[in-house]
A and B are shown apart, each in its own frame.
Chain A
């Protein structure tokens, strides 16, 4: 009978070989080290959750975002003309879904209310199995949903949100914003205002009373005061106030010669229309022509405001008549599908959907921490805003910003904005530490029930 002799070295070799053999399948399957995460897609499809304000103050933007997401899903699945898949550089997208899985979506109407948005996102994650949540047109919603997504370990690709807080004090590791912010609006618009209206002005702010309004007021106030403007008053108005007469009348005899409306969506349409009804654009104050400024507006709002918006300065994330290859490709795709050009809300929604899909392809997995790593510090081009960086420090896209003006002589119902200036990324980039906040950790990944 042979004697079984073993040595310490043999045991170590054997153990090492055993471990290597057992784990071999995982070495060759990238990302498979953590299959147990929230809504890991196991079938032939992957579901994304669209959280959109289809009713409420920002309903117009929500409806346009929905169209954009539908288009993005088509393009990701290899249908239609491919849209921006053809011009995104670099791109790992193949037009066969994401990681070979066909993309489908579920929707929830957030009603432009933060609590409803949060409840809708919870439902789409827990009931519908959404791997990622995207959409929204209000910073209140974005911050609420982003925080929820961090808790549940689901990536949130924000839609239209302009508050500094979204990627500032309330930033989260699982939240990403392509849209620009109020601080960047201030940087972009200040020189244009100085050139148009001079540096001796007195401004009166009417501000929507929630996170976006507060940070926009703060940013525009800082930017205009740096020009030499004086701030006469800052007055908060409730979101969805509808009748602004009692807030507008004090402006008339306040000594101000500029009214700055920190309102968005229907609020802005109502406040601007009513300001014009009060004769503000026909007034003289302090020996100057009285002016109205709307720091953030979109083509949808410009259409709603009609005549009132003509000649008014503001900023925008993107506009459909930009001449770069990406903007033209997206406008063509969207216009052919829906018979009208896309809004800035639609653009940011579409881009976010593609960027998430591309990050999954580059990561080779849906595992959120790996997708987050793929998005952080990702530099891309071809999406309509020039070379863009998804900054790792705060998950804010650094890109160019548009200063726009209500078109005085529109040639069609869609020709409502003029791009006055495209302010480059080098100008709009700022130190991420100025707004504080902590991203938090990507791991351990919470598992949703």
Chain B
């Protein structure tokens, strides 16, 4: 039984990593700009498609027709040669193999640009408008982005292979002195958890230990006073929007080997991530992280056969059940500030 519980705990950490990364960006935008950004899930999806597009370019091929060989339907066979391998040899093959992690380098500038363009182009016009209007416009934006991706990449998922060295499962049981094969867990899911931890740590360190971060935190606490001191807080908040977009995008990139992305990916994660933010407390960064992992773990345990035997279907509703309870008992969320979204 210990093995089963331990494995579900690992699953929870893995799911929680994705929830926490998306919720972190969502709450960062709400805490700085006061905007409820329903297009944040679309940023996760766009990040995933950075990986898809990067691999597409890496795997472009030259196609030549071999008239001496015929396919079963009587057409000359096409001979395909990967371009990158032809140009760069072993390095090209390595690039293709590691396309997912390498595409993080592509994702960062792309998402920074997308984030800043989104904030300057649309969202800044809604700062002083009611939250309902912000939700409507960002939700509309998410639909537009989804449809754009569908137009370019089609409706179907695009599987992204993980690097060969990270295929298969780690024998965690043997690390803990147990019999081999008792507790095994996929390498890439462990990598994703470590990646999420590193990104979350980096964002917190950036806010905590840099002057830029200090000003942003001051702006989050009292925007007007920071403005009176002559600091252009709006520009810093715009950059924070870009950083939130990068975090969401990188989370999307690294998730692609676990779940082949399609244009609905953003919506699939958005609703859960929004619930995570509400449970953690709107605008609270530690709250978003804690709630992300908490809900991920709860969802995993709710999927256990033993639990579902007692309450059928609990795995599908557990997250929303927790949200309802939290909203009834503590409307500002687990770590939310008093008065924020309580009314």
Binding site for B on A (CB under 8 A): 54-56, 59-60, 63, 233, 235, 238, 242-243, 245-247, 249-250, 252-253, 266, 269-270, 273-274, 277-279, 282-284, 304, 306, 320-321, 328, 331-336, 339, 341, 412
Contact = CB atoms under 8 A, between A and B. Distances in A.
A339 B184 CA distance: 42
Q: DSSP class of A's interface residues: helix, strand, loop or mixed? A: helix
Contact of B260 (A238, A269, A331): A269
Interface in B35-80: 71-75, 77
Contacts of A233: 305
Contact of A55 (B4, B71, B155, B260): B155
5 closest A-B pairs (Cβ-Cβ)?
A: A335-B73, A279-B169, A246-B303, A249-B7, A277-B186
A65 B7 CA distance: 41
Given A59-B155, A336-B73, 12 more contacts: A59-B156, A243-B259, A246-B15, A249-B4, A249-B8, A249-B10, A252-B7, A252-B183, A277-B188, A277-B258, A306-B161, A412-B77
A60 to B, nearest CB: 6
B201 interface: no
Interface in B178-236: 181-186, 188-189
Contacts of B157: 266, 269, 304
Q: Contact residue range for chain B? A: 35 or more
A333 to B, nearest CB: 8
A304 B161 CA distance: 11
Nearest to B74: A332
B171 to A, nearest CB: 8
| Residue among A253, A266, A412 with most chain B CB within 10 A | A253
Contacts, number: 106
Contacts of A249: 4, 7-8, 10-11
B259 A253 contact: no
A246 B11 contact: yes
Contact of B169 (A238, A278, A321, A412): A278
Interface of B: 3-4, 7-8, 10-11, 14-15, 71-75, 77, 155-157, 159, 161, 167-169, 181-186, 188-189, 258-260, 268, 299-300, 303-305, 315-316
Nearest to A332: B73
A253 B182 contact: yes
Contact of A279 (B11, B184, B259, B299): B184
A341 B268 CA distance: 33
B184 A252 contact: yes
Contacts of A247: 303
Contacts of B259: 242-243, 270
A340 to B, nearest CB: 9
A238 B308 CA distance: 14
